[in-house]
């Protein structure tokens, strides 16, 4: 694998390309947190980019770039790597292994390497240090998923995990089922039930009945052992518990080792997100005390 250089440059935001941006999702809440961090603390870590055709293309840091554009910032620091587009695409997965990439994003990266850059599945497996069967599964996932459903995911209308479930359906049915999931705001568990019922329906008429029942108003059909959708209060309580548990584990890990550069960058981004979260918490607590 090609080594990354460490040539930081201050680059005008308008000069940065986003050719590889379609391989990543742009989560609205994460983008808002990044915007808040940039506004309060400035840029904590450089973007990563490579030169191609006279343009400095970004391959890591799309949230920072978009947040900077939203804030009207003129320049950003960029760590320019001496790599080509294939190496940069490989690095997009390598830099986020085990943290932050959805199965669909990994599938987009694999497809770009295989279809756009003509890298064999075996070579992709070697470059990504994974089994060839994993590469094959990711490629099958993205090529089985209707482009309209993928567009729904990019727009934030459909959760990536729900899209993966919908991919099990014939392409001709995926758009209508995804539409029902979006209109009803179904959870991933409910989407699992819908897809299962749709696949179990033997005749087209039965499939239409299943889809109509899930598309109509009122609660989705319940099944024993399936939890109802969480309320906002339940979701907040669960998130608080999860963050407390993760924070304790992270604190113990940090005390035991000197983190690598990639981890330090992640910690810098996390610090910005946590500061923004603390501000929101302080605001809610203050309102509660006044009340």
Residue 241 has pLDDT above 90, yes or no: no
Kindly report the average pLDDT of the chain as a whole number.
85
Residue 83 has pLDDT above 70, yes or no: yes
pLDDT of residue 267: 74
Model pTM score: 0.71
Most confident of 99-103, 220-224, 279-283: 99-103
pLDDT of residue 3: 45
pLDDT of residue 259: 55
Place of tokens 């992270």: 250
| CA–CA dist 111, 118 (Å, integer) | 9
Report, as an integer, the average pLDDT of 205-223. 76
Report, as an integer, the average pLDDT of 203-232. 71
The dihedrals phi and psi of 253, each to the nearest 5 degrees, come to -65, -40
Report, as an integer, the average pLDDT of 146-163. 94
Residue 214 has pLDDT above 80, yes or no: yes
The pLDDT-based confidence of 275 (bands split at 50, 70, 90) is confident
Residue 66 has pLDDT above 90, yes or no: yes
pLDDT of residue 37: 92
Pairing verdict, β 7-12 and 75-80:
antiparallel
């Amino acid at each position: 694998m090609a080594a990354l250089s460490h040539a930081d440059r201050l680059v005008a935001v308008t000069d940065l390309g986003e050719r590889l941006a379609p391989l990543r999702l742009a989560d609205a809440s994460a983008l808002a947190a990044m915007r808040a961090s940039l506004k309060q603390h400035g840029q904590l870590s450089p973007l990563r980019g490579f030169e191609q055709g006279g343009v400095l293309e970004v391959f890591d840091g799309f949230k920072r770039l978009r947040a900077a554009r939203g804030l009207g910032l003129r320049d950003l620091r960029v760590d320019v790597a001496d790599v080509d587009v294939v190496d940069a695409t490989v690095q997009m997965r390598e830099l986020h292994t085990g943290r932050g990439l959805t199965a669909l994003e990994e599938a987009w990266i694999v497809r770009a390497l295989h279809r756009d850059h003509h890298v064999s599945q075996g070579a992709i497996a070697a470059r990504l240090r994974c089994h060839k069967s994993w590469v094959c599964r990711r490629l099958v996932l993205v090529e089985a998923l209707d482009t309209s459903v993928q567009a729904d995911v990019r727009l934030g209308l459909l959760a990536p995990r729900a899209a993966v479930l919908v991919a099990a359906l014939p392409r001709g049915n995926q758009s209508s089922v995804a539409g029902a999931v979006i209109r009803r705001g179904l959870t991933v568990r409910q989407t699992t039930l819908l897809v299962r019922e749709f696949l179990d329906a033997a005749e087209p008429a039965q499939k239409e009945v299943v889809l109509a029942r899930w598309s109509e108003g009122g609660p989705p059909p319940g099944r024993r052992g399936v939890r109802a959708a969480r309320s906002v209060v339940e979701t907040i309580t669960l998130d608080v518990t999860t963050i407390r548990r993760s924070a304790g584990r992270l604190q113990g890990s940090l005390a035991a080792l000197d983190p690598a550069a990639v981890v330090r960058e992640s910690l810098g981004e996390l610090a910005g997100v946590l500061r923004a979260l603390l501000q929101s918490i302080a605001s809610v607590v203050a309102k509660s005390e006044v009340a």
